[in-house]
Structure 1
Amino acid sequence: MASDSTSPRRSLDDARQRRLLDAALTVFMRYGYRKTSMDEVARAAQVSRQGLYLHFATKEELFRATLQHTVESSLAAATAALGDSSLRLEARLVRAFDETTGRYVGMMGAGASDLAEVGGELVGPLIARYEGLFLDAVAKVLRASGLVAAYKATGLTARQLADTLHATARGLKYSSTNREAFVAGMTVAVRAMCAPLEEVA
């Protein structure tokens, strides 16, 4: 007999909840926390208001679950990209930063300026913890690639290199007009950082 976690019913419920959370993210990113209503999320997810409330009793609960789902999904996709040994280091890094940052370029609406403030209040260190896990994974890949050894004379660590790419990604998130522009900018930054590997080769 199938366990609860692998039953068709559980898979259906999980898929429905993911759809709700993806829709909620789009609405929160467009309108911000305070201006988003449960009705708008229900419409975006194509469910009834009552159907939404069956999953989430309050907007605060929905927001927390949306952030949790978003950071977990991004981290999983980025980690998979970093571990894809069929790709060159540059491509793995660009894809990983695209998964954590680039995918959100252009999603932020004019009314969403309260998200960072409300996010800090409602989920505390959640985002910082996931960012730390992601940057640890980037640093591990940089060490394994031999890039840190190429930078040995400069005294730079793998984590410092990862943090530099992260800062670049955050800057590009706000200055890029679309996701393609973000990827192009990150490609230049990653290529410049990885240049010492080409010299060694």
Structure 2
Amino acid sequence: MKSESSAPVNARRLEIIDGCIQTFMRYGYKKTSMDDLARSIGLSRQALYLNFSDKATLFKATVGRVIERLREAGQEALGNEAEPIEARLGRAFDEVHGHSVGYDTLDEILETSVQMVGPVFDEFEVTFQADLAKALQVAGVARRWKSPRVTAELLAAQLYAASKGHKHLSSSAEVYRERMRGAIHLVCRSPEQLPSTA
């Protein structure tokens, strides 16, 4: 017999999960009640319990859905080769990190995710950085630096670290985007194209 967390996600359950993401983001896991979740999606608490037996089960399903959406959005942005590489990187980071700027609950949600689901966000980070490196490689960004030490993987790691820092330090999504545009611009230019400090 399948457990509830491994059961297929039907359209109704998926709609509930998608509707609960913002509520978990706003209040965090600990402060969110099933009443809060039911209200946020226009259901009675009883109707919510018919689909999910408890808050933990719903949270686990929500984490899985968030990871799936982040992966799809990041890959879609990076894969659009009709756009310049800087635009693709900007859109990918906005999809992956931009929407979570300004939430004080983020650390608590990530910690709870690790405890309940495992290191799924860490695993996503590794995959996303590999996707970034591939896009940078194909676009020839590392070659512009003319150094064997500057690899696409190194540039991807630097951009990802910048994004994580700006996500926590930016006061708004627009500030985050502006700072990431600067970081992306620096990475995508060769040293000869950067302004001289002399």
Who is 1:62 aligned against?
58
- The aligned length equals 186
Whether 1:123 and 2:117 are equivalent positions in the alignment is yes
For residue 153 of structure 1, give the secondary structure of its aligned residue in structure 2: coil
Kindly state the Cα deviation for residue 120 of structure 1 after the two structures are TM-superposed: 1.3
CA contact under 8 A between 1:147 and 1:197: conserved in structure 2? Answer: no
Kindly state the Cα deviation for residue 150 of structure 1 after the two structures are TM-superposed: 2.1
Whether 1:91 and 2:87 are equivalent positions in the alignment is yes
Kindly state the Cα deviation for residue 87 of structure 1 after the two structures are TM-superposed: 0.8
Kindly state the Cα deviation for residue 154 of structure 1 after the two structures are TM-superposed: 5.4
Normalising by structure 2, report the TM-score: 0.86
Where does the alignment leave 5 or more consecutive residues of structure 1 unmatched? 1-9
C-alpha change, 1:78 and 1:35, in structure 2 (3 Å) is: same
Kindly state the Cα deviation for residue 197 of structure 1 after the two structures are TM-superposed: 9.0
> Once the two structures are superposed, what CA deviation does each residue of 1:105-164 show, in whole Å capped at 9, x if it has no partner?
12x24x665223211111112111112111111110111111122234150222221111
Kindly state the Cα deviation for residue 17 of structure 1 after the two structures are TM-superposed: 3.0
Separation in 2, partners of 1:189, 1:78:
18
Separation in 1, partners of 2:82, 2:106:
38
For residue 28 of structure 1, give the secondary structure of its aligned residue in structure 2: helix
Where does the alignment leave 5 or more consecutive residues of structure 2 unmatched? 1-7, 194-198
For residue 83 of structure 2, give the secondary structure of its aligned residue in structure 1: coil
For residue 190 of structure 2, give the secondary structure of its aligned residue in structure 1: helix
Who is 1:4 aligned against?
none
Single out whichever of 130-139 and 143-152 deviates more from structure 2: 143-152
RMSD: 2.1
Separation in 1, partners of 2:124, 2:37:
25
Normalising by structure 1, report the TM-score: 0.85
After TM superposition, the runs of 4+ consecutive aligned structure 1 residues lying more than 4 A away are none
- 2:187 maps to which of 186, 193, 199: 193
For residue 174 of structure 1, give the secondary structure of its aligned residue in structure 2: helix
Q: Give the % identical residues.
A: 37
C-alpha change, 1:47 and 1:103, in structure 2 (3 Å) is: same
Structure holding more helix per residue: 1
CA contact under 8 A between 1:33 and 1:112: conserved in structure 2? Answer: no
